[in-house]
């Protein structure tokens, strides 16, 4: 979960910095700004916001985090991260035409 959160916020921050988008004031704002720019499908935004909202409790309340069961997002995250990655790749290809060294996975 933690790595998924960091992936989404780090990628979003790089997009914001790289394309000189407005400054983000929170993790949720990072998702909103990169979503508004078209980096991923609009329908994905609520799930990503729900995910990044888990960062504070996961990091600050690590020892009291409920470990007896999987968080409901755990089952959705792998496929959503694959879609997020493909979407960001497509966004970069649209925004940076002619860049031949973009990594395609």
104 falls within a domain: no
101 falls within a domain: no
Active-site residue flag, 55: yes
Query: For residue 3, what pLDDT band results from cuts at 50, 70 and 90?
Result: very high
87 falls within a domain: yes
Q: Tell me the backbone φ, ψ of residue 100, rounded to 5 degrees.
A: -85, -15
Which of residues 102 and 83 earns the better pLDDT score?
83
Residues of the domain holding 45: 2-63+70-95
Question: Which of 22, 55, 82, 103 is the catalytic position?
Answer: 55
Q: How many structural domains is the chain composed of?
A: 1
**Neighbouring C-alpha atoms within 13 Å toward the C-beta of 7:** 15
14 falls within a domain: yes
pLDDT tens column, 36-74: 999 999 999 999 999 999 999 988 888 888 888 888 999
18 falls within a domain: yes
103 falls within a domain: no
Tokens read off for 9? 């916020």
Dihedral class, residue 69 (left if φ above 0, else alpha if ψ from -120 to 50, else beta): beta
Q: Give yes or no for residue 102 having a pLDDT over 80.
A: no
Q: What is the pTM of this model?
A: 0.86
pLDDT score at 7: 96
The runs of H, that is alpha helices, within 22-70 are 27-36, 45-52, 55-60
pLDDT tens column, 89-100: 999 999 998 765
**Helix, strand, or coil here: 37?**
coil
């Amino acid at each position: 979960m933690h790595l998924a959160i960091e992936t989404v916020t780090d990628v979003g921050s790089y997009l914001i910095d790289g394309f000189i988008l407005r400054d983000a004031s929170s993790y949720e704002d990072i998702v909103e700004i990169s979503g508004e720019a078209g980096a991923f499908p609009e329908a994905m935004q609520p799930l990503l916001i729900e995910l990044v909202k888990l960062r504070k409790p996961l990091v600050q309340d690590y020892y009291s985090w409920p470990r007896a069961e999987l968080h409901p997002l755990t089952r959705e995250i792998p496929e959503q991260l694959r879609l997020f990655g493909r979407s960001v790749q497509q966004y970069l290809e649209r925004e940076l035409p002619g860049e031949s060294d973009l990594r395609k996975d």
